[in-house]
Amino acid sequence: MTIGDQIIPFSPVPDTELSAIAKQLRRDIVTMISTAGSGHPGGSLSAVEIITALYFKIMRHCPSEPGWIERDRFILSKGHAAPALYAALAESGYFPVSELATLRKLGSRLQGHADRTATPGVEMSSGSLGQGLSFGVGTALAAGLNNKKYRVYVLIGGGECNEGQVWEAAMSAYHFKLDNMVAFIDHNELQLDGTNHDIMNIEPLGEKWSAFGWHTIEIDGHNFNEILSSLEEAKNIKGQPTAIVAHTIKGKGISYMENKVEFHGKAPNPEETKKALQELA
Amino acid sequence: MSEIKKASMRDAYGKTLAELSVINKDIVVLDADLSKSTRTNLCADKFPDRFFNVGIAEQNMIGIAAGLAAAGKTVFASSFAVFAPGRCFDQMRLSVAQPSLNVKVVATHGGLTVGEDGASHQAIEDLALASVLPGFHVVVPADAVETAQVIRTAANIYGPFYIRLSRIDLPIVYQNDFQFILGKASLLCQGKDVTIIAIGVMIVAALNAAEQLQSENISCRVLNMSTLKPIDEQAIIAAARETGAIVTAEEHQENGGLGSMVARIVTRNKPVPMSFVAVKDSFGESGKPDELLKKYGLTASDIVREVYSVISRK
């Protein structure tokens, strides 16, 4: 909020509330994708705890002033997980929660993939995989040039690590010693056509990030304690960026979606939606 | 025309960038391991803190440019035209054009006149790629004087730009007091029988063709259409109305280049006979720039031939 010209950043919630918020984001995600009739539930649900921790605990941001110059930046490189981001933005106050029902509809501010020009709080347009980390490097370099203290968080999919540009960007973040940036890899082990292992093996993923010069931490991406402690650790790393390889479950939280590649890019039907919301009650 | 002094567009670019950087503290320059060739090193040497060499990684360069621009910087990102936009079209599309960020992609080594390096290094598709992106300004200066002006203009006007420069030194067409105006064609030669609309390397060929045709009692108007986007529709319509025939000349593929853009406007407003001097759906090869221009039909005599063709169809 703002009082006069003064920015009052979003107040972090107690750790004990994070699980309940994550569950609410999951309900929002399922409901909005079901209402839209299309979208990407699997990779949205796997990222929920990471996004919840960032928007409700870690980042300095101000929902009523999305362009606040001092804000920490979150860049969703895996743009198909936009529903997870939209849920976090709505629940933290960037726009009304009711607007989530407009996802993917003509004229909506909530485009099928993240769109910088459309949605308050969305830092970058994404959806063509591989581009977000480079944008993050530019954002982190600008912090140095502009003498700003903000931190940059980029969320990349595990499958997205197939894209060569990710590694160009990884190389450059280390080269430029960007200790103000963190890359989360939402490593749910599935991509559109099947498992990472079958389609294009990205292992050993943690060792790859280490080899590219990043301080690398491997965590359970659904465990808030591990997410929060890894982010605290990252803040104390100097002279190099931090990669957090978050082991996650695609479709996490909904029994029939978990680890099912079919729900990469398919909306639940009304019956499935009902079941999902019962599980998330 | 052959006696005219030549100058490097690339040097003009680097020097202008360095001059602008003195005053404009928001200018940041990126290069992808070609700074000695693109001449961004002329600026980098003076402002090392605002220069980032990203190595041989053009896709990453454009993404970094977008991130810097989103944080308020005016970013000049340079490479060879085959690599930007050639290697990073998708990044120019989604990271720069769609969010309309303040990134100036300045590519050197456009066209066949790259010469001996051959087909891999001869960008003759770049103008089509850049022009199709919504919101991109696309400019092809004709000489070093215009290059300096175009760079100054790009620094002062918000939004994405693609600017194509040549490797070779080009004859100086403009006096130092020339004032480039974005979106305005510049009239180089007045005439009534036909209009030659040219860009870049082809400007001097167009002027030579006009001189020869004058001696054959054909009066040619010559327009430098250095801004391809937004293109000067009024100048094109006036040329069609007042001269009744148009020949375009460009060091680029015929598909999607200057000729097709001019034809679209002519067709909609005042259809007149047209002809196109351009590369006809082929790749280039190694050779000296003049040899290549001759082999691929990009000379003053090619323009003369096409002028006779359009006049015969009037």
Q: Which of B145, B171, B197 is the last residue of a domain?
A: B171
Chosen for mutation from B31, B61, B64 (greatest number of chain A CBs closer than 10 Å) is B64
Q: Are B160 and B100 in contact (CB under 8 A)?
A: yes
Distance from CA of A18 to the nearest CA of B (A): 30
> Does B125 fall in a domain?
yes
Write out residues 169-198 of A within 8 Å (CB-CB) of B. Answer: 169, 171-172, 175-176
Work out the pLDDT band at A42, boundaries 50, 70, 90. very high
- A166, part of any domain: yes
Domain end call among B171, B195, B225: B171
What CATH number is given to the structural domain containing A216? Answer: 3.40.50.970
A232 occurs within a structural domain: yes
Report pLDDT for A138. 98
d(CA B186, CA B180): 8
Q: Is residue A261 part of a domain?
A: yes
| Binary contact (A164, B59; C-beta < 8 A) | yes
pLDDT tops 70 at residue B3 = no
Q: Are residues B145 and B211 in the same domain?
A: no
Please check whether residue A115 touches B, CB under 8 A.
yes
Check A141 against B68: CB less than 8 A apart: yes
Label each residue of chain A as H, E or C: CEECCEECCCCCCCHHHHHHHHHHHHHHHHHHHHHHCCCCHHHHHCCHHHHHHHHHHHCCCCCCCCCCCCCCEEEECCHHHHHHHHHHHHHHCCCCHHHHHHCCCCCCCCCCCCCCCCCCCCCCCCCCCCCHHHHHHHHHHHHHHCCCCCCEEEEEECHHHHCHHHHHHHHHHHHCCCCCEEEEEEECCEECCEEHHHHCCCCCHHHHHHHCCCEEEEEECCCHHHHHHHHHHHHCCCCCCEEEEEECCCCCCCCCCCCCHHHCCCCCCHHHHHHHHHHCC
- Whether A142 sits inside 8 A of B71 (CB atoms) is yes
Would an 8 Å CB–CB cutoff place A145 in contact with chain B? Answer: yes
pLDDT surpassing 80 at residue A3: no
Split at pLDDT 50, 70, 90, the class of B4 is: confident
A-to-B residue pairs, Cβ atoms closer than 8 angstroms: 108
Per-residue pLDDT, A1: 66
- CA dihedral sign, ordered B48, B52, B56, B61: negative
Could you tell me if B121 and B201 lie in one domain? no
Q: What is the C-alpha separation between B80 and A57, in angstroms, rounded?
A: 45
Residue B247's DSSP bridge partners are B196, B275
Same domain, B216 and B255: yes
Mark whether B159 and B242 lie in a shared domain: no
My answer on whether B199 and B130 are in the same domain is: no
In angstroms, the separation between the Cα of residue A116 and the nearest Cα of chain B is 6
Residue A62 domain-assigned? yes
Residue A148 lies in a domain: yes
Residue range B167-175: mean pLDDT, rounded: 97
Residue B178 lies in a domain: no
Q: With contact defined as beta carbons under 8 Å apart, do B159 and B97 qualify?
A: no
Q: Are B25 and B62 part of one and the same domain?
A: yes
Q: Is B244 on the interface with A (CB under 8 A)?
A: no
Query: Does A6 reside within a domain?
Result: no
Note whether B104 and B236 are same-domain residues.
no
In chain A, which residue's Cα lies nearest the Cα of B30?
A138
For residue A115, give both structure tokens: 């769109």
Q: Is B59's CB within 8 Å of A175's CB? A: no
pLDDT in tens, B251-293: 999 999 999 999 999 999 999 999 999 999 999 999 999 999 9
Task: Clarify whether residues B152 and B246 are in a common domain.
Answer: no
Q: What is the pTM of this model?
A: 0.97
Range of the domain at B284: 186-312
Q: How many whole angstroms separate alpha carbon A131 and alpha carbon A10?
A: 28
User: Which of B130, B146, B171 is where one domain is finished?
Assistant: B171
The answer as to whether B50 is a domain residue is: yes
Rounded to the nearest angstrom, the minimum Cα separation between A33 and chain B is: 24
Q: Which domain holds residue A231?
A: 14-279
Domain count, chain B: 2
User: Is the Cβ of A125 closer than 8 Å to some Cβ of chain B?
Assistant: yes
* pLDDT tops 60 at residue B209: yes
Does B139 share its domain with B263? no
Q: What is the average pLDDT score of chain B?
A: 97
In a domain, B14, yes or no: yes
Q: What does the pLDDT read at residue A5?
A: 76
User: Does residue B27 lie in a domain region?
Assistant: yes
- For B197, phi and psi rounded to 5 degrees? -110, 120
Q: Known catalytic residue: B254?
A: no
Residues B123 and B242 grouped into a single domain? no
How does residue A193 score in pLDDT terms, banded at 50, 70 and 90? very high
Residue B12: which CATH number?
Answer: 3.40.50.970
Q: Quick one: B144 and B201 in the same domain?
A: no
Please state whether beta strands A181-187 and A190-191 pair in parallel, antiparallel, or not at all (unpaired).
unpaired
Cα B119 to chain centroid, rounded: 19
State pLDDT tens for residues B73-132: 999 999 999 999 999 999 999 999 999 999 999 999 999 999 999 999 999 999 999 999
- Number of structural domains in chain A: 1
Residue B1, pLDDT > 70, answer no
- pLDDT score for A261: 95
B274 lies in some domain: yes
Is A246 within a domain?
yes
B19 and B166, same domain (yes or no): yes
> Could you tell me if residue B181 is inside a domain?
no
Per annotation, catalytic residue among B3, B19, B58, B306:
B58
pLDDT digits (tens, 9 = 90+) for B135-167: 999 999 999 999 999 999 999 999 999 999 999
Nearest residue in chain A measured CA to CA from B62: A134
Q: Residues of B with CB below 8 A from A123's CB?
A: 70
